[in-house]
Amino acid sequence: MKLHISRQMIYILALAIVFLVIVFIFAFAFLIPSGKEYRVARMESKKISYQVDAVQAEYDNVYERLKGLQAENRHVVSAYKTIFNPDRFKKMHRSHFESFSLSELSGHSLDGEFAVYEVNTSSLIHSPQGFYDFLDAVNKSDNIIGVNFPIHFERDANLIKSSFTMHVYIARKKSGKEDEGEGSDK
């Protein structure tokens, strides 16, 4: 039995083989490596996303904690930033004294994160109660103020003359994060 293959069929078969070779070359040289790249990139992306989500969760926790602390200690935080205003201080605490005077604020020392300023105070009071009320009010004032020794009381007719020093504490560290925290990307 003689197999008869026409010339045209031979051309077509040859062309088919050439096409097949092209397809295989394309598949092995480009498609499979890019498939691998894709798979690696997808896995890497998932891994990174998982890690970033964990960091985001931690960020959210820390942010909530910071905001809670800031809200809880709003008065203290702002008091450490507030510049001491002698006139305002006198106006706020004048009611506890018969007369009240403050010296110029002067730099005193550094106490860790805080700069300490000293102000000398002299006053006239009717009774020690005025001084007790003043000490209560100082703890609620716009600044962090500590009343220090020595404290000097002296009778002056029906009044008591008192003189003492106060330490005003101002935060030295610049806390820029508080402002930044408001606009952080969440």
Subset of 16-75 contacting another protein (CB under 8 A): 16, 19, 22-23, 26-27, 30-31, 34-35, 37-38, 41-42, 44-45, 48-49, 51-52, 55-56, 58-59, 62-63, 65-66, 69-70, 73
Give the closest residue to 123 by CA, choosing from 148, 108, 103, 139: 103
Q: Rounded to 5 degrees, what angle do the CA atoms 120, 156, 99 make?
A: 45
Binding of another protein at residue 132 (CB under 8 A)? yes
Which 151-180 residues touch another protein, going by CB under 8 A? 151-155, 169, 171, 173, 175, 177-178, 180
Which residue number, 1 or 8, has a Cβ lying nearer to another protein? 8
Binding of another protein at residue 2 (CB under 8 A)? no
Cβ(130)–Cβ(120) below 8 Å? no
- Angstrom distance (rounded) from CA 117 to CA 110: 9
The dihedral built from the CA positions of residue 172, 174, 177 and 182, taken in this order, carries a sign that is positive
Binding of another protein at residue 135 (CB under 8 A)? yes
The minimum distance between CB 177 and another protein, in angstroms, equals 4
The minimum distance between CB 87 and another protein, in angstroms, equals 22
Which residue number, 1 or 149, has a Cβ lying nearer to another protein? 149
Cβ(148)–Cβ(164) below 8 Å? yes
Q: What single-letter DSSP state applies at residue 3?
A: -
Figure out which of the listed residues 92, 102, 147, 159 binds another protein, where binding follows CB under 8 A. Answer: 147
The two beta strands, 114-125 and 99-102, are antiparallel
- Angstrom distance (rounded) from CA 102 to CA 99: 11
Which 68-107 residues touch another protein, going by CB under 8 A? 69-70, 73, 76-77, 79-80
